[in-house]
Structure 1
Amino acid sequence: MKKNSTPKFRLMSAAIVSVLLFLLWAGSVLAADSSKNDQAKPGAEYRVPLASEPGKLDPAYITSVYAVNVALNIFDGLVEFDKDLNIVPAIARRWMISRDHRTYTFFLRKGVKFHNGREVIAADFVYSLQRLLDPETQSPVASFFSHILGASEFHEGKSQTVNGLSAPDPYTFKIELREPFAPFISILATVNAAVVPKEAVGPDFGKTPVGTGPFRLHTREPGNRIVLSANKAYFAGPPIIETLNFRIYSNDQWEVIFNDFEKGLLDQAFIPSDKYDEIIATSRYTKNYQFSSTPGLNLVYIGMNQSIPPFDDHRVRQAVSYAVDTETIVREITKRGSVPAKGVLPPGIAGFDPNFKGYAYDVEKARKLLAEAGYPKGENFPPADIWTVSKSENVRKQLEACQKYLAEIGIQIIPRFAKNWKEFIGVINDKKAPMFYAAWYADYPDADNFLYVLFHSRSSTNRMGYKNAEVDKMLEQARRETDYLKRVTMYRKTERTVMNEAPVLCLHINTFNNLLQPWVKGMEIGYLGAPYIPFRKVSIRRR
């Protein structure tokens, strides 16, 4: 057996590291200062904005960043990410991975307790992962764990248990895979792999979750707030703050959130695009607040539904990608440190190709492709709805810009604004939207979480209806490949194949820009952004 207690991700090229270091310096990204925590205000409340209702707080069902934001404070898994994306121990104090990369053995801490007071044992992890794979659960993230030995047979009702999950003793948990799956240890660090107590799970578990985390649910008022209280018995030590108050806003009201922050009603806020330049240049902000800027692992894109003509023709999709000037959209609209996206993979992900140029703005090439597809100057091209859930001014301006650019080649798009996240996700999951504006934020720091999750034909989050047998094959091979450099090569080739068929128009990559109140200490915002902030380390120190 090969010991692997703290494996590290080799994510950054030298050039990217330089950029990150500059941003960390310029933005004063905040590190925990444990030497000052003894001055923290006792019983303090920390107030966090949520830009949308998070939905179920049940690890088996969580897919939105808003639910992750809350749930990571309630639940723990075997391992977790630190702010630099290293995999570090959580409930597992150490682990081993077999030489063939198929067997993972985790040695659990003793004395870790659920919020109901019962000690966590290995059988709880067997139950939690088996529940996630149970067809009756209908988990939208079950595919993340489908490589576990016996998962398919269990899902199909051919077996009563998942053979690859076992508990040799109360503090040893073993997972066997049917084949090597390179991203697996990263997936185990997501909230979906968290442990839950069988006795607490029921129809309302997503509303009244019970975990092992540093905070426990105190109050939930849909559409208003979610309040968590400190878990004094937390195995890694109790949080410094007493209460974590998530205030819920509707449909990405970034400007409203920021106004509330300036009034002192929130302790942190994401910076709206139209305020970014003012904030970094104005002493009123630089002197009175703390500024944090962190590059993100994400992609903002426009999906084109291949099941709805005329987007079933790759030439139409290519024409759209050539027709929109993403460089200008970023420079004049999105701003706030975002960068144009040339491809699917963002900088910082293994497989990112700095030499890949994507689609340059080229109106004549777009018109030519559209004519070849049978729509010269846009003749007979049906108006296309483009769906979004965001009602922010910034997104409106981006869509207006896309309308203008596409009108130049004869394509009319009509923005449709969903009432809420539930409506939006329903429309795009059911593939009823010809086009949609969305963002994908990494669940785990691996190219698999972009390319496989968005473009494999069997992925539930492939909302473009994209199908390519060769891409499916390459993505499946990359999952089995354990050689780092070979995986990088595979993902670069796959990305070029996908981009050539243009199922998405890649717009930009967001940087996480936040302001914090001056009394906030110990904040860590890593490359996975706000959803992964370890609030247990945060303190409030007012003078």
Structure 2
Amino acid sequence: MRQSLFAAAFAALCLPATAVSAQTLRIALASEPTAVDPHYHDLTPNNALAQHIFDSLVSQDEQQKLHPSLASSWENDGKNRWTFKLRQGVKFSNGKPFTAEDVVFTFCRTLKNETKVSDSFADVTGNFASVETPDPQTLVISTTNPEPLLPNLLSALSILSAGIVEHGPISYDVAKNCGVTGPWPTVSGFNDGTLAIGTGPYKLKSYVRGSAIELERNPTYWGKAEPWASVRLLPVSNAGPRLAGLLAGDYDVIENPAARDLGRIRGDKRFGHVVTPSTRVIYLQLDVARDQSPFVKSEDGKNPLKDPRVRQAMSLAIDRDAIVKRIMDGAAEPAYQYLPTGMFGTQPNPPKLAYDPAAAKKLLAEAGYAKGFQLTVATTNDRYINDSQITQAVAQYLTQVGIKTEVDAMTRAIYFPRRAKKEFSVALGGWGSATGEAASFLRQWPPTPNEAKTIGGSNYGGYKNEQFDKVIREAITTLDDAKRAALLQEAGKLVLADNAFIPLHFESGIWAFKSDLTVAGRADQFMLAMSVKPVAK
């Protein structure tokens, strides 16, 4: 035994430097996670980071197909009752066994999260009438309204350890604090690593905002061990430095290189790349409710965005094909609805959203704004692919038809809290379907919010359409797939006709990497170390 250990140690010392360094994977991120807390903000970079450290009951693969994770199986009774059987033998990174109690605590925490942005994940758990645990490995969820997509929705909800708080017996009794006797966890406790205890393939080593996120392999992980002993996630918001770092050998993988640089990457045998169509729609959200909107100025003192003719004119003023070709360099598709054609609940042949500046000017004149008005569009400059450039192009198109438009670009850390407070008049947004159905966008953004905030949680523009509300509420509680698809198609048409949410295009995810690696591109655009593997030799 002693001899074999010595031989193994000597062999390790003799390994080439590339093999040793391959134990650390260096990834340059286009958009930095805003927190380690998996419930802080339902945001793609945050959710992607969370999947390294935490697991959910259900997982999604690269094409968003569902697979067992912390739940080994699940079934529905045809109505409101779901039963999940939990995986046995799973431990948290601190050695504590995983049980149904941890899941119940997690559900409660989404409703007791004082440091969250918006109503992240509470829209799912807010529909739970009861959660029972007949035994440590069984979870029974009864929903207030039927929820045909509950496994899909739970795939985005990271499970925490109940051991991070002081508590007595845990139960899903929100009025009685669910059995928690101490303070509820806040975002700072996750960011400093104290509370970042999960069952995922990696553990958090350090999180330094604006610098790097350091992960290390979790030795207690229940699944197959990842090939990387450690992972460094480095925020590099500008595409130029990301590509330069890859070419110089500073990074192993980069997110979203500029599409115009793909030719250079293709021509260099040292690197590979993958382009994967995504479900993320880039769109404009308009303030259609307030009589005076903060970033709109018109001669009559009113909010022109309340007029459907003005909103239609804005859509007609935008050349989507030109944005896709010139700004996105072809790595996108024009959007004529809120989810790519062919996905569940979409229109099979949506009419093209026309580019017609003359018609736009005519509609503005009919609405009483022949001389136009002034408008500021808010946008991130570090979240979506070419987000600020896209917004600048939109501003130019609107200005050409008489709507004098300026752009207010800011980091996502500033933008998202401001948007949640309804501080903008027009805002550029992006939304990827977490469920793979049209319901994802249609239940989150356009509905009039209900009291439980299970729908309409992101309706920052005050959109209200009673017919749409009726249809979408029926759609999301309909278990019959054919009926639900028809209802979702109808709901989508109603929203499109009102132009309170103006779709622009669907992003494609792009990854570039060293040629001795493979990267599985994901439709949800998650950058996961688990998607990166060494090339077999």
TM-score, structure 2 as length reference = 0.83
User: Which residue, 185, 189, 196 being the options, matches 1:205?
Assistant: 189
User: Which residue, 263, 270, 290 being the options, matches 1:278?
Assistant: 263
- Write the distance in 2 (CA, Å) between the matches of 1:326 and 1:340: 6
Per-residue deviation, 1:377: 4.1
Report the more deviating stretch, 346-355 or 66-75. 346-355
Is 1:409 the counterpart of 2:401? The answer is yes
Cα displacement string for residues 144-181 of structure 1 (whole angstroms, at most 9, x for unaligned residues) = 222211xxxxxxxxxxxxxx111111111111112311
Per-residue deviation, 1:215: 0.3
- Write the distance in 2 (CA, Å) between the matches of 1:342 and 1:415: 24
Alignment of 1:450-465 (within 5 A): 450-458=441-449, 459-465=456-462
Partner residue, 1:236? 223
The one-letter code matched in structure 1 to 2:62 is K
Contact 1:451 1:495 in 2 (8 A): yes
Alignment of 1:436-447 (within 5 A): 436-447=427-438
User: Which residue, 164, 176, 184 being the options, matches 2:150?
Assistant: 184
Partner residue, 2:214? 227
Contact 1:367 1:377 in 2 (8 A): no
- Write the distance in 1 (CA, Å) between the matches of 2:420 and 2:62: 32
Cα displacement string for residues 485-529 of structure 1 (whole angstroms, at most 9, x for unaligned residues) = 2111111111111111101221111111211111224x3222112
- Write the distance in 1 (CA, Å) between the matches of 2:31 and 2:108: 30
Partner residue, 1:132? 110
Cα displacement string for residues 93-124 of structure 1 (whole angstroms, at most 9, x for unaligned residues) = 22222132x21112222220111110001111
Partner residue, 1:510? 507
Partner residue, 1:88? 67
Cα displacement string for residues 168-220 of structure 1 (whole angstroms, at most 9, x for unaligned residues) = 11111111112311221101111x24243333563333312111100011111
The one-letter code matched in structure 2 to 1:319 is A
User: 1:104/1:496 Cα in 2 relative to 1: closer, same or farther (>3 Å)?
Assistant: same
Is 1:57 the counterpart of 2:22? The answer is no
Contact 1:258 1:270 in 2 (8 A): no
The one-letter code matched in structure 2 to 1:527 is A
The one of the two structures with greater contact order (alpha-carbon pairs below 8 A, sep at least 6) is 1
- Write the distance in 2 (CA, Å) between the matches of 1:487 and 1:502: 23
Per-residue deviation, 1:278: 2.6
User: 1:371/1:49 Cα in 2 relative to 1: closer, same or farther (>3 Å)?
Assistant: same
Partner residue, 1:12? none
Contact 1:292 1:514 in 2 (8 A): yes
Cα displacement string for residues 428-449 of structure 1 (whole angstroms, at most 9, x for unaligned residues) = 2222222122221223322121
Partner residue, 2:274? 292
- Write the distance in 1 (CA, Å) between the matches of 2:419 and 2:197: 31
TM-score, structure 1 as length reference = 0.83
Alignment of 1:240-319 (within 5 A): 240-249=227-236, 252-273=237-258, 275-276=260-261, 278-279=263-264, 282-284=266-268, 287-306=269-288, 307=290, 308=293, 309-319=303-313
Contact 2:226 2:530 in 1 (8 A): yes
Is 1:375 the counterpart of 2:366? The answer is no
Contact 1:183 1:448 in 2 (8 A): no
Per-residue deviation, 1:137: 6.9
Q: Which runs of 5+ in 2 are unaligned?
A: 1-17, 166-183, 294-302, 450-455
User: 1:40/1:471 Cα in 2 relative to 1: closer, same or farther (>3 Å)?
Assistant: farther
- Write the distance in 2 (CA, Å) between the matches of 1:394 and 1:99: 44
Q: Percent same amino acid at aligned positions?
A: 26
Cα displacement string for residues 265-298 of structure 1 (whole angstroms, at most 9, x for unaligned residues) = 1121234445245347x522xx221221211011
- Write the distance in 1 (CA, Å) between the matches of 2:261 and 2:354: 26
User: 1:325/1:93 Cα in 2 relative to 1: closer, same or farther (>3 Å)?
Assistant: same
User: 1:45/1:261 Cα in 2 relative to 1: closer, same or farther (>3 Å)?
Assistant: same
Cα displacement string for residues 349-403 of structure 1 (whole angstroms, at most 9, x for unaligned residues) = 312224111421112221121112111142xx2x211111216994444334323
The one-letter code matched in structure 2 to 1:254 is A
Q: Which runs of 5+ in 1 are unaligned?
A: 1-38, 150-163
Partner residue, 2:3? none
CA RMSD, Structure 1 to Structure 2 (Å): 2.3
User: Which residue, 47, 59, 66 being the options, matches 2:45?
Assistant: 66
Per-residue deviation, 1:43: 6.7
